[in-house]
Chains A and B, each alone.
Chain A
Amino acid sequence: MSFPSPAADYLDLKLDLNQELVDNPPATFFVRATRPHPELKVSPDDIIVVDKSISPRKGHLAVCFSDGVFKVQRIDKQDSEYVVWGVVTYIIHKV
């Protein structure tokens, strides 16, 4: 017979990164960066977290579609050169 752990009553569930990184699960998509954008702090292989439920505004970092490809960029002005696919909420970067 061993001693019961004094921490048994205080056990919490393990931390789940989804709780921290995903605010709106059905609208959140993970995408993968392939090119470096030092000015946006994006590196190749980074996982970019996109929440499509956020209305895009000037200054938002966003995944946009233009010239047949998806690009990560800062929304500067509301013009028709690109379509905003979703607003970036986190960049997961391996150091």
Chain B
Amino acid sequence: MFALVDCNNFYASCERAFNPMLVGKPIVVLSNNDGCVIARSQEAKDLGIPMGAPAHQILQVVKDNKVSVYSSNYALYGDMSARVMTILSQFSHEIEVYSIDEAFISFHGFNLINLEKHGMKLKETVYSNTGIPVSIGIGKTKTLAKLANKIAKRGPGAYSIDTEVKRIQALNDTPIGDIWGIGRQSAKKLNEYGVNSAMQFIQQPDTWVKEKLSIVGLRLKYELQGISALGMMLKEPDKQAIATTRSFPKTISQYDLLAEAVANHAASCAAKVRKQRSCAGSIQVFVHTSRFRPDLPSYANKREVKLPVHTCSSSEFIEYATIALRSIFRPGFEYKKVGVIVSDLVPSNQVIGGLFDTSDRAKAKRAMLAMDGLNSKYGKNKVKIASQGFTKGWQMNQQQLSPCYTTRWQDLLKIV
């Protein structure tokens, strides 16, 4: 059996865990730069605030209903997520962290116990230990667990599709578009053929399903029939490309500020590449002006630069990213966004040296390790490459940021 554990309204719940005054009150969390709504408490959903709504469009409803508005505090959400996942791993050895607020756990060999009760215990433990409410769905396959989770969310928080009667009822009650893995396009296509519920979907012959939705759709059919076709992904595969991109709170026209942002994004990519013990062979920089300002001249461009030798050094990333930026920068435009993407990633112990490479790579590596060590101890970007600068004119707008209660000493919860 598989279980899917999903944190309820995760970002809003993290804010609430450290501020009980928010219990029962509407909360929204905004994206980077406080641009638009990316998370809502149930109360905010009930007020009709849509996901993705631009912040400036919800001012009235926020004011009228005393909605609490927060900037996204990823330091807090990341730490709380890690706590929840650690607790889940105490309930099963096999856990697949699917996203920041969801994980599959496998209950193979747990046949003798009442899994719904076990799920309830898990839910209570996570809540009392962290303050985060979760829902848990259990089923014979990952897809059925995901479906059970939807039912759990509407009910007591734990639901197991453990009998044929329950499975058939769930499939009858669920529109095919609500099934995990069926996108909007596929749902539309199936509806056109008169397939509306998940039950109608599994009644189609294998060949028909494969013809319409490929092998992926067929796997889904098996999963809904209770035949496991999707296994646990216990280790996340290393990423093939790593990107750091940000919109500016205000547009930027000066080259110096843009270069500083690019240097910071490049350094951030380098730190991420080192974290997964890779080296990159290629670096790309892109810039563009705002798409929402038709009154201003628009411009967008990108440039990819091959690195002479695969590397994970911040200073090399910055050097080549700056070259790329210089080649695409045009004066006279109001830039809204820049990004750095590194690709062609290989494990750092499989890097082929360059014949004409004169740089002391062992020394650079020691410097980077020392820098990562200091930054993990004293805080992000405490030690950096000089070109990352100090002007901060390009940095994110985070007007409503809550304290980083669990990751910064100066932000600890205050007790009277």
Contact = CB atoms under 8 A, between A and B. Distances in A.
Nearest to A70: B415
Contacts of B413: 29, 31-32, 70
Contact of B415 (A26, A27, A33, A68): A33
Interface string B1-37: 0000000000000000000110000000000000000
Contact of B20 (A24, A32, A55, A83): A83
B20 A29 contact: no
Contacts of B131: 52
A75 interface: no
A50 to B, nearest CB: 9
A47 B414 CA distance: 10
A83 B130 CA distance: 15
B83 interface: yes
A31 B406 CA distance: 9
Interface in A28-57: 29-35, 47-48, 52-53, 55
A70 B412 CA distance: 12
B405 interface: yes
B interface, over-half SS: helix
Contacts of B349: none
Contacts of B412: 30-32, 47
B376 interface: no
A52 B130 contact: yes
A70 B414 contact: yes
Nearest to A25: B86
Interface string B123-134: 001001111000
A69 interface: yes
A36 B370 CA distance: 40
A26 B86 CA distance: 7
Chain A contact-residue range equals 20 to 34
A71 interface: yes
A83 to B, nearest CB: 6
A26 B130 contact: yes
A71 B128 contact: no
B234 interface: no
Interface string B379-416: 00000000000000000000000000110000011111
A31 B86 CA distance: 21
A62 B92 CA distance: 31
A70 to B, nearest CB: 5
A68 B82 CA distance: 28
Nearest 10 A/B pairs, CB to CB? A27-B129, A26-B83, A32-B412, A26-B86, A31-B413, A53-B129, A65-B20, A70-B415, A26-B87, A35-B416
Interface of A: 24-27, 29-35, 47-48, 52-53, 55, 63, 65, 68-72, 83, 85
29 contacts: A24-B129, A26-B84, A26-B86, A26-B87, A26-B129, A26-B130, A27-B83, A27-B128, A27-B129, A29-B405, A31-B412, A31-B413, A31-B414, A32-B413, A32-B414, A35-B416, A48-B415, A52-B129, A52-B130, A53-B128, A63-B415, A65-B20, A68-B21, A69-B416, A70-B413, A70-B414, A70-B415, A71-B415, A85-B20
Interface of B: 20-21, 82-84, 86-87, 125, 128-131, 405-406, 412-416
